[in-house]
Chains A and B, each alone.
Chain A
Amino acid sequence: MGMTAVEKVLAAKSGRASVKPGDVVSPEPDFIMIHDGVVMGAKRELDSLGITRLARPDKVLMVTDHDVIYGSARAAERGAFNRKAAAAWGVKNFFDVGRGGHGHIFPMESGLLLPGMFYFDNDRHATNAGAIGAFGFRIGTEITRVLATGTNWVMVPKTVRLTLKGRLQPGVYARDVGFHFAAMLKKDQLQADLDYRVLEYAGDLEQFGLSERAALCSTPTEIRAYGVFIPPSQAILEHARKKGQRPFTPVYSDADARFDADLTLDISRLEPQVSMPGSVENAVNISEIAGTPVDHAFIGSCGSGMWEDLVTAANILRGRRLAPNVRLFVAPGSEATNRRLAAEGLLGVFIEAGAVMLPPGCGPCNDAVIGPVHAGEISISTATNNNAGRFGAREAKLYLGSPATVAASAVTGKITDARSL
């Protein structure tokens, strides 16, 4: 019996010839990511146990992306604590304020994260690693055991395969595919349990570049997938070779690998999707909801913060102004993308349109530390999810769309199909 991609990676990192779903292994990660919001808790827990030295400080990536510009005295205190923690632990790979960007984006862009790699992360959106053909596993507060010992237990997950058929029409994007997939599962038009599964894409994937692959990773994470994997195309391998800071070995599922479920989705006639408030699963065709007035808009997050996402939005905003009642926040995924936006004149497009540029990182899509919504307001965004209270008042209504839909809606002041502009 062959192995799926995740089984191969976990076997290789655990020094085993093979593994199967349900096996408990302790894989040796390529690196260990810890985000700004959990460093203080982890450091205090380890200190209380007398653990002051990390097993592999050289493998640790500390990332300031959740609360980048300190909207409160408490956040500033945490930033200062984190800098002392990095020094005390001897962590050299510390991507602090203004140094890297979003931890689930810049490592793929810069070649730190490469095909076939495996890493531990305290945050569940580590699933983005699948965009480049790698795996990032969320370990929550158990990141302390990884920091102390270099690993932690992992139960090998099952894999669900989703084969995409056809090409997206112009003006329809990868985020739309994710929203639609979630709605199909909710409506039982596709049947699979994603709890603690890896969702592996197959089929007509050549059309998707790195940013679209990151978008494909986003929504399954919100419906309980533990990992997402997109077999790397030649273009992705070329990017990894060009940017790669070390050699890598891409991994693909065997032809006779066993999948927990095998699904197929025709995307050739898909319309732009909007997820209605409450869940990513509440996706409908945009034509059903177009015209709903909006107050707040946001472009960014793990799923839609890469260069191509921002180019798509800028192309809609160019020469236009936001509707008078709308505020639009834009959080690029990385410092590199921010610099490129400036160099290529796109920063000016956003600013001329009236958008507010946020520092690279999570933006409002982290507990509303910046740019939140108020009760009664209506938001449309590319946030990872639209659960009540995701970025501000629980009584606000949060809609989700692709970067194109959000940009078009911010211009007209109501939910708008960008193809109609």
Chain B
Amino acid sequence: MTTNSEFQWVLKGRCYKLGHDVWHAGGVVPNWIITGRHFDPQEIIPHLFEETDPGFHARCKPGDIIVTGKNFGMGPKMNGYIAMQALGLGLVCESMPFLAYRAAVGCGVRVLTDCVNVSEFCDSGDELEVNFRDGFFINHTRNIRREYPPLPDALMEIVELGGNAGWLRHWQAQQQAGSAAG
């Protein structure tokens, strides 16, 4: 599939650092967002990290990067990633349960996982630059540079297209264009 060469794979922004073992329910969004099946980003955004960092949604800016310890997003759900994608945030984790990673990709979040000890190389408020296509992580505040595993090629396409729904929309458009041409 053709993809979007204009897509912004490099994010520059402030670091928001979280610890290890953050559950999706409670840690990322309140549980009622999950059980109430709220998937509209505008409904979720005011509640992103509400229980751990009140007012986060008002302070963060597009390009800001959430850096986490191990096991981020336990109890994999999509709701928090929908809000992160809509806010233009990046996500860099020491590790995630695989299905949490899959949910983040499926929601179109720029995400790196298996970034060993990354939380030792930054603190909240540091100026970060992360290239999610190549896996480069730069902390401009501390002058630290690290390289981590990038997203696999097959998953970059999903993120570029805004997640699973965007990918399917693009696929369907191509099918229709193909049948019209044929």
Contact = CB atoms under 8 A, between A and B. Distances in A.
Bound pair (A, B): yes
Interface of A: 24, 26, 45-46, 49-51, 140-142, 144-145, 148-149, 153, 155, 157, 195-196, 224, 226
A24 B168 contact: no
Contacts of B106: 142
Given A50-B172, A196-B98, A24 B167 contact: no
A24 B97 contact: no
9 contacts: A26-B154, A49-B169, A50-B172, A51-B172, A141-B164, A142-B164, A144-B168, A148-B171, A153-B154
Contact of B97 (A26, A155, A224): A224
Given A144-B164, A145-B164, 16 more contacts: A24-B153, A24-B155, A45-B165, A50-B172, A142-B106, A142-B164, A145-B168, A148-B168, A148-B171, A149-B171, A153-B155, A153-B158, A157-B98, A195-B97, A196-B99, A224-B97
Most chain-B CB neighbours within 10 Å: which of A46, A141, A195? A195
A196 B97 contact: yes
Contacts of B78: 141
A26 to B, nearest CB: 8
Interface of B: 78, 97-99, 102, 106, 152-155, 158, 164-165, 167-169, 171-172, 176
Contacts of B169: 49
Contact of A155 (B152, B158, B167): B152
B76 to A, nearest CB: 9
Given A49-B169, A51-B172, A226-B98, A24 B164 contact: no
**Chain B, interface SS category:** helix
A127 B106 CA distance: 22
B148 to A, nearest CB: 14
Contacts of A144: 164, 168
A46 B169 CA distance: 9
A144 B163 CA distance: 13
A141 B176 CA distance: 24
B154 A49 contact: no
Nearest to B152: A24
B88 to A, nearest CB: 23
B41 to A, nearest CB: 16
The 4 lowest CB-CB distance pairs between A and B, nearest first, are A196-B98, A24-B154, A24-B152, A195-B97
B120 to A, nearest CB: 21
Contacts of B167: 145
Contacts of A149: 171
A111 B106 CA distance: 34
A45 to B, nearest CB: 7
Nearest to A23: B152
Contacts of B152: 24, 155
A45 B98 CA distance: 24
A24 B155 CA distance: 9
Nearest to B37: A41
Nearest to B114: A22
Nearest to B95: A195
A224 B76 CA distance: 11
A149 B99 CA distance: 21
Contacts of B165: 45, 49
A51 B98 contact: no
A158 to B, nearest CB: 10
B49 to A, nearest CB: 23
Contact of A49 (B98, B102, B168): B168
A195 B168 CA distance: 28
Contacts of A226: 98
B173 to A, nearest CB: 9
A49 B97 contact: no
A157 B99 CA distance: 12
A154 B118 CA distance: 26
A155 B168 CA distance: 19
A49 B99 contact: no
Contacts of A145: 164, 167-168
A49 B102 CA distance: 21
B134 to A, nearest CB: 17
Contacts of A195: 97-98
A226 B155 CA distance: 19
Given A153-B154, A153-B155, A155-B152, A51 B97 contact: no
Contacts of B172: 49-51, 148
A408 B61 CA distance: 60
Contacts of B102: 142
A149 B97 CA distance: 26
A148 B168 CA distance: 8
A366 to B, nearest CB: 15
Nearest to B96: A195
A129 B18 CA distance: 38
A226 B168 CA distance: 25
B20 to A, nearest CB: 14
